[in-house]
Amino acid sequence: MVELVDTLVLEASAIVREGSSPFLGTIYRSIIMKEATFENIYNKEKFVSRGKRDSKFIDGVEYIKLYKKDTLREVFVRRDFLKKVNT
């Protein structure tokens, strides 16, 4: 069973690199990369962190690079505006 999953992951990663299937890209990201879901505490907008978190400090405030839920759009959001949610 483990070998089968490893084979599927390798095949999915090859397809994603070729860019042929966005659906498989979503599956690959959810299997390989640890995703965490965050919610903006002010407007309830949802964001996803995929893999390694990239953060920047601007004028002493920490901003984290996240993705809008169900899109590939990257945004920087203030860390103190976020709440981690379980999905």
Look over the chain and give the mean of its residue pLDDT values, rounded to a whole number.
Answer: 75
Instruction: Say how far apart CA 28 and CA 23 lie, in whole Å.
Output: 9
pLDDT higher for 48 or 4? 48
Instruction: Say how far apart CA 78 and CA 51 lie, in whole Å.
Output: 18
10-33: average pLDDT? 54
Contact present, 19 and 31 (Cβ < 8 Å): no
The 10s digit of each residue's pLDDT in 42-65 is 999 999 987 767 889 999 999 999
Q: Where do the domains of the chain lie?
A: 1-32, 33-87
pLDDT higher for 17 or 83? 83
Distances from the Cα of 45 to the Cα of 3, 32, 58, 67, angstroms: 38, 25, 22, 11
